[in-house]
Structure 1
Amino acid sequence: MKKKIFYKIIFISIFSFIMSFGNIKGTKVEAAPDTPALGQICLMAMNFVPRGWAKCDGTLLAISNNNALFALLGTTYGGNGVATFALPNLKSPIPNAQYCIATQGIFPSVGSGTGFDPILGQVELFPYNFTPSGWAKCEGQYLNITSNQALFAILGTKFGGNGTSNFRLPDLRGTEPNSNMHYCIAIRGLYPSDDAYSNNESLIGSINLYAPSNQCKADMGLCDGGVLNINSNTAAFGTVGTYYGGNGTIIFGKPDLRGAVPNPQLSYYLQLQGTYPVHQ
C-alpha cells in the first residue's frame, strides 16, 4: 500500500513538472512533424510572415510574453533585458524574401536535440550560443567515417578528408549574416529520399540550404531562377506568386540564390510541398 502511494506521488510530481514546462510561453511539448526548433532562422520566399514565426527585423519583444525565446537569445541582439529583448535584424540576400525566426517550437538543448528530425546533411542557421544535439557547427572539422557512415555516404569528400578514415564538414565561418549566429549541419536525421518529406514536412515557400546538393530534390525546387508549372505546383504558386518571375497563368519563377550560397558546393532549395503556411 505504501509503495502504491509512493509511486503515485512520484507520478503526480513528474506530470506536474511536465505540465508546468509546457506552459512556458513560446514552447510546445508535443511537436508536429513540421514543428521547428524555437529560435531557428529560415529564409522565407512568401511576402507574409507565417504563424509561429516573426520577421528578423530587430523588433523588440516583451519578455513576459516570450520568456522561452528570451532564455535562448537574451539581449544578444538588443533590448534592456528587464522588460524587452530584440530579434536579430537580418537582410535577405535577394528581394521579396525575408529571414524569419521561429517564435514557437521545440525548446532546443545540448543534450536532447531540437525535438524534430531534420534531413541528414541539412544546414540551418541557429542564433544560440550552443550547438543542439544531433547537429555540428559548419567549421570544416573532420569526422570519423565509421561513426558517421550515413552522412559520409551523402557528403563524401567534396569538403575534404581522405575518404578512408575521415571526411570534412563544410566550413561556413564568416558567411553568417550575423556574428552571433552559426550554421549547423544535421549529423543525425532522416536520410534524404523521395519519401523523406512525408515524415518531415517544411513550410511551403520556405528556402532551405542543403549539403547533399544532388539528393535533396524530393518535393523541392533548386533556387536557380528557373520556372515551374502552376498546375503541378498550385500550393507553391499560392505562396510565391510571380515575385520571382513567370506569367502567372501557366508558369511562375523560383528565386535565384546561386550567388548567395555561402559555399559553392551547397545549394538552396525552395520547398514545393509540405505544410501550407498560415498568416499571423
Structure 2
Amino acid sequence: MEQYLGEIRLCAFAFAPKGWALCDGALLPIAQNQALFSLLGTQYGGNGTTNFALPDLRGRTPLHRDPDGIAQGQMAGAEAVTLTTAQVPAHSHPFNVSSSPATALNVGVSQDRMLAASNLYNPNDPSVSGPGELLYGTPDSLTPWLDEACGSTGGGQPHDNMQPSLVLNYIISLAGIYPSRG
C-alpha cells in the first residue's frame, strides 16, 4: 500500500527513509514542496511565503483534533510543572499539644528551678534583679503558647510530568498519493 502525502508514521530506526522526513519542525521551501504545503499550510510554523514547517513531535504526544478544544497544529502541555498552593489538594497538618508537665525535663538543674537569662524585676523582693539569678517554684497552671501555623514544606521546584514513554521517531511522507476529501 502506498502512503498518502503528509501521512505520519512511527518508525523504530533513527533516520527518515527516502521520501520521508522526521517530524522535527524543520522548515521546507514551498517552491519544492507545493503539494505538501497545500495540505499543511503554516499551521505548524513557517512564514507561508517562502517556507512552511513540518509538525514538531519531538518530546510530544500527538492528540486527535478536537474542534472544541486545542486547535490542530497547536502545542500544549509541559514536561515539568511547578504546582501552586491552589493546585495542591485540600489537606491539614494536625498537631497535638498538652499542658501537662513532661515526664522528664533535662535542663541541667533541678526541676523546680531554672536560671534567668536576663534582668528580672520583682516588686516583692528588689534583690532579684540581675542575670544569672535562680528562679524557684512550680506554676499553679500552665498555659501553653502556640504558633498556629505549621512550618512550610517543599522547595517550590518543578516536578516531572511525563507519562511512561518509549522513544520512537515520527516521520512524515514527502511523496505519495494526494489525499482526496470525502
Q: Which has the larger radius of gyration?
A: 2
What range describes the TM-score normalised by the shorter chain of this pair?
0.3 to 0.5
Higher strand proportion, which one? 1
Which structure is richer in relative contact order (CA contacts within 8 A, separation 6 or more)? 2
The alignment's TM-score, normalised by the length of structure 2, stands at 0.41
Higher helix proportion, which one? 1
The alignment's TM-score, normalised by the length of structure 1, stands at 0.27
